[in-house]
Every structure is written in structure tokens, then in C-alpha cells.
Amino acid sequence: MRAIQYQSAEVPAKVVNIDHPTPGDGEVLVDIKNSGLNHRDIFITKGLYPNLRPGSTLGSDGVAVWKERHFLVNPNVSWGPNQQFQGENYSILGMPKDGTFAEKMVLHPDRLAEKPAHLTLPQAAAIPLAGLTAYRVLFSRCQLAPEDRLCVSGIGGGVAIFVMQFALAIGAEVWVTSSSQEKIDQAKDMGAAGGCLYTDDSWHKILKKKSGGFDVIIDSAGGTGFSQLISTANSGARVGIYGGSLGKIQDLSPQLIFWKQLNIFGSTMGSDRDFEAMVRFVDQHKIIPVVDSVYDLSDFQNAFDRMDKGQQFGKIIFDNLK
């Protein structure tokens, strides 16, 4: 079967032909019809991820066929018993444990969640890791409520779009930021109330004035813009951080944080309980993920490049089976 594996720093990802994997204790062999690309896969191929194991099959997102039924694959490996944080043995499918960028994989049936009926297979493959991350940061951590006004920074990425969709689904007002007017317009087409280019001067002042300020802010950039972003927070606001693509946060005012009684919550992935709740939410609210594009598994390099350049709006999906 075909699989995309991490080889070495020199050959970070390559299509290989390997034997079907053999199920371990309690595991089953499933077909993977579609899989989804995440920034994590890019980080791995750039060597920006710890404990890289040569010969690991990449990929955290997938839709599996088992006993002629379709399932979302839960990307968690050993979250552990505490809902507040992942345990020490936690990892994500696709490094070091073999992931979803293959025609078949082995996993325990408790990693399978029935596919909501309203979703196509590529749509379903777009959900697991990004949907889980979005659900946890937005609901389990920031407790978004229908009466809240939300700002999602960097709209266009997989998690950010889910955050927006989930928030719109419960009736919250959503605003977005991006460096691309096209992405802001796409978000408005999907129901966002408005947005700002964070490349504009004084964008945060304009955004605060236009929106009226935010009860919840979800960010994955950090960097120098974070302090500007949270200057748009209302008193008592909850700020969720699920990434740091622009590096360390600078010039953050403690006075703003304590005077406004802000709550800043770090969040990454989510527990198995978050995963179950997220799949139920997607089913109940008939969320349809945004699929940016579908590539054949062999064409992975073009897919990786598209994500690396930030050109996508929504999830990049693979067809795993020829």
C-alpha cells in the first residue's frame, strides 16, 4: 500500500510502498478513504517537531471504513485521565504512531466515531484534529455562549474556520482578522459580522470601534500582534490561545490583564470527551467543513506547499485510495 512517511531531515516526507500493517492487541485494520492535512504535518517535515521517528507514517486526520461503515478517526493517543490537560504519554496520531496518510492503518475501535450522516467523506476527513482543537478552545476552555461577541484571528486556517462555524451555529456574533481581504470576504459570506486586515495601521482600534469589543478572542498567532489583539477585549473577556505561529508575545500589558479581569486560556487539541462532544455538535448543528481542495496522496508536496504558503481557505484533503 502507499503511505507518506517521514524519512530523515534530508528526506522529510516521501511516498513509499509498504506492506499492510498488522493489528496489535485489540486493534483492527481499516481502510482510510480520505485524510486531512494539518500544520503539524508541515512542522514535522521542517524538523520543527520533537522526537521525530524515521519511518513514521504522517497524518492525524482521516475517515476510516470498517465493517462497511464510515468513521471519523480520533487523533488522540493516550490523552490521559485529566480533562484539564493531556498526560505525559500523550501524542497525536501521525508521529510517532503511524497516521492517516496511507491506504490502510491499524487502530483500536475506541478511536472510531461514527461519521455524521450529512457529511461526504472528504468533509468528514476535514474534521478530526481541527474540529477537536476548535471545540476545546471555544467551548471547553472559553465557554462561548450565544450572547457573546467573538473575534477569531487569522481566518482561513482549518481551526479558525471551525471556530467561526461553531460560534455561528450557536448564534454568537463573529468577527475575523486576516492579512487577506479575500479571506475576510469569504468569512463574511459564511456569516461573519465583519473583519479587519491586521496589516493595516491601528487595525485593533478600528476593529474595537466597529465591533464594540469582544467577549471571547481566539488566537493562534501570538507574536507582536497579540497585545494589540487583546486590547479589543471587553472586561471579563476570555482569550483562547491554541497556537503561536508568529512567535513570542511582546509588550503585553499586565495592567490591561488585571484591570479588565481578563482570562487567558491555553488550549491544545482536546480530550477524548472533547472529541465525542465535538462530533455530536457537528452532527446536531449540521456543520459542513470547508474543504479547500482535494489532492491525490501522491501529490502531497503540492498540498504541503499550498498550506505552507497560507493560500488555503479551509482544509486540504487527500484521496488516499486510487
Q: CB of 242: closest distance to a copy of itself in angstroms?
A: 5
Identified binder of a copy of itself from the candidate list 89, 258, 309, 322, rule CB under 8 A: 258
Q: Are the C-beta atoms of 313 and 186 separated by less than 8 Å?
A: yes
Q: CB of 88: closest distance to a copy of itself in angstroms?
A: 9
Q: Does 241 bind a copy of itself (CB under 8 A)?
A: yes
Q: Which is nearer to a copy of itself, 242 or 275 (CB)?
A: 242
Terminal alpha carbon distance of the chain: 10
Cα 17 from Cα 5, distance rounded (Å)? 10
Q: Does 82 bind a copy of itself (CB under 8 A)?
A: yes
Give residues 120-159 in contact with a copy of itself (rule: CB under 8 A).
141
Cα 295 from Cα 59, distance rounded (Å)? 14
Identified binder of a copy of itself from the candidate list 17, 81, 201, 254, rule CB under 8 A: 254
C-alpha cell at 112: 472510531
Cα 168 from Cα 156, distance rounded (Å)? 16
Identified binder of a copy of itself from the candidate list 186, 211, 267, 312, rule CB under 8 A: 267
Give residues 83-112 in contact with a copy of itself (rule: CB under 8 A).
84-86
Cα 296 from Cα 298, distance rounded (Å)? 5
Q: CB of 125: closest distance to a copy of itself in angstroms?
A: 24
C-alpha cell at 122: 472528504
CA distances from 307 to 38, 138, 246, 259, 313 (A): 8, 23, 16, 39, 9
Q: Does 301 bind a copy of itself (CB under 8 A)?
A: no
Q: CB of 217: closest distance to a copy of itself in angstroms?
A: 13
Q: Does 263 bind a copy of itself (CB under 8 A)?
A: yes
Q: Does 257 bind a copy of itself (CB under 8 A)?
A: yes
Q: CB of 267: closest distance to a copy of itself in angstroms?
A: 6
Strand partners, 238: 216, 263
The DSSP-derived string for 279-306 is HHHHHHTT----EEEEEEGGGHHHHHHH
Q: Residue with C-alpha cell 482569550?
A: 239
Cα 242 from Cα 135, distance rounded (Å)? 11
74 residue type, one letter: N
Angle at 54 between CA 48 and CA 56, to 5 degrees: 90
Q: Choose the binding region for a copy of itself from 1-9, 65-73, 173-181, 245-253 (rule: CB under 8 A).
A: 245-253
C-alpha cell at 2: 502507499
Q: Choose the binding region for a copy of itself from 14-22, 151-159, 241-249, 314-322 (rule: CB under 8 A).
A: 241-249
Q: Choose the binding region for a copy of itself from 52-60, 96-104, 149-157, 243-251 (rule: CB under 8 A).
A: 243-251
Q: Does 81 bind a copy of itself (CB under 8 A)?
A: no
Residues that bind a copy of itself (CB under 8 A): 82, 84-86, 141, 222, 226-227, 235-236, 241-244, 247-268
